Amino acid sequence: MRSGGTAPTRLRRARLHQDPYAPHRARLAVRGWLGATHPALYDTELVVSELVTNAVKHALKGPGRDWVRLSLDQEPSCVRLVVTDPGNPGSEPTCRPLPADWNDWLPRMRQPGGMGIATVVAICGGAWGTHLTEREERVVWCHVPIHAL
């Protein structure tokens, strides 16, 4: 049960192979789950792409560590997305603030580290979090708001 006692209207889960095509497969999964006319589709596709890209880039590699899991709950006011990967205790997602001035974007985009989490935070209005499980798997969750069309 979620806060307020309401259950999600849909729960979807997938396990993807962790490779350079995983973000694309994650977007396809989200599109299939939500449907092409869902009001939060584009935001959810962008967010899942950013989070899965981070999983591919930052999770420790090795035997049995080539996976990323997605979980999506559709609630009345948001899409709750959870991305889990094998983890890397030495690396935690951080949010660098987005540049306020357009002239600052290009130099910022050339810096290593990108703006993926800042993009997630901006889309989700700050509703996101991360933690390591007891098995040191990295879990990143966020709430993508559903805006009426």
**pTM for this structure?**
0.84
Q: Is 3-145 a domain of CATH 3.30.565.10?
A: yes
User: Could you tell me where the DSSP H helices lie in the chain?
Assistant: 22-34, 41-58, 105-109, 116-124
In this prediction, the residues of the chain whose per-residue pLDDT falls under 50 are 1-3
C-alpha span between 20 and 145 (Å, rounded): 27
- Token pair listed for 21: 């095509």
Please give the pLDDT value at position 61. 87
Please give the pLDDT value at position 33. 95
